[in-house]
Amino acid sequence: METNHQHFLIYKPYGYLSQFVCELKKKKLLGELYAFPEGTMAIGRLDEHSEGLLLLTTDGLVSEHIRSRHIEKEYYAQVDGLITDEALEQMRQGVEIGIRNAKYQTKPCVAFRVENVPDFPARGRKIRDDRHGPTSWVSITLTEGKFRQIRKMTAAVGFPTLRLIRVRVGAIGLSDLQPGEVRAMTSFSEAD
């Protein structure tokens, strides 16, 4: 059975919504970056202030599979302060966060300190001045994706997120994509 579905990788820049339509005026949308075919949908979302790898497809079944708990999603978060081993261990075990006015215990995850500052492209908007204290980077890999989960997790352990970048979905990595760049793919088999 032949399908005519199309698949894309994009480095979602800071300040864009992971959607094509928005009732709010003056919001930047994915359709401004590329002429995606009709029926294209983002697989999962990155909030307006998050950046990085976003997969898009015209195939709802592919979208559902990649959003499932079988596929890992890895994020790099720049956090306020020098993250401690205790905070990392708390996140690994799962922390309590708020989701829609309710408490939610996150699932165990992989979390570790990134020793060398990652070489990501500069963000369009300055994060903050060095005079406000040190920052550190952490890698967090999840198989779930609640609303603003990484930001809530790092805040719950005392290290608020300043910058958040998704670097991997399954085996598909951000690699050398630049902010706003789009690549057409024949499939997302690497996501498995």
Does 7-67+172-191 match 73-169 in CATH topology? Answer: yes
Query: What average pLDDT does this structure show over 137-162?
Result: 95
* Band of residue 192 on the pLDDT scale cut at 50, 70, 90: low
**Active-site annotation holds for 130:** no
Residue 100 has pLDDT above 90, yes or no: no
Neighbouring CB atoms inside 10 A of 172's CB total 18
Question: Comparing 114 with 127, which gets the higher pLDDT?
Answer: 114
The pTM for the full model equals: 0.92
Contacts for 86 with CB less than 8 Å, ≥ 6 apart: 157
The pLDDT of residue 2: 44
The pLDDT of residue 23: 80
The pLDDT of residue 1: 39
Residue pLDDT, tens place only, 5-40:
999 999 999 999 998 888 877 899 999 999 999 999
Domain 7-67+172-191 carries which CATH code?
A: 3.30.70.580
Question: Comparing 18 with 124, which gets the higher pLDDT?
Answer: 18
Query: What average pLDDT does this structure show over 53-82?
Result: 91
Residue 4 has pLDDT above 70, yes or no: yes
* Band of residue 190 on the pLDDT scale cut at 50, 70, 90: low
Q: Where are the domains of the chain?
A: 7-67+172-191, 73-169
Architecture of domain 73-169: 2-Layer Sandwich (3.30)
The mean predicted confidence, pLDDT, of the chain is 90
- Give the whole-angstrom CA distance, residue 125 versus residue 45: 21
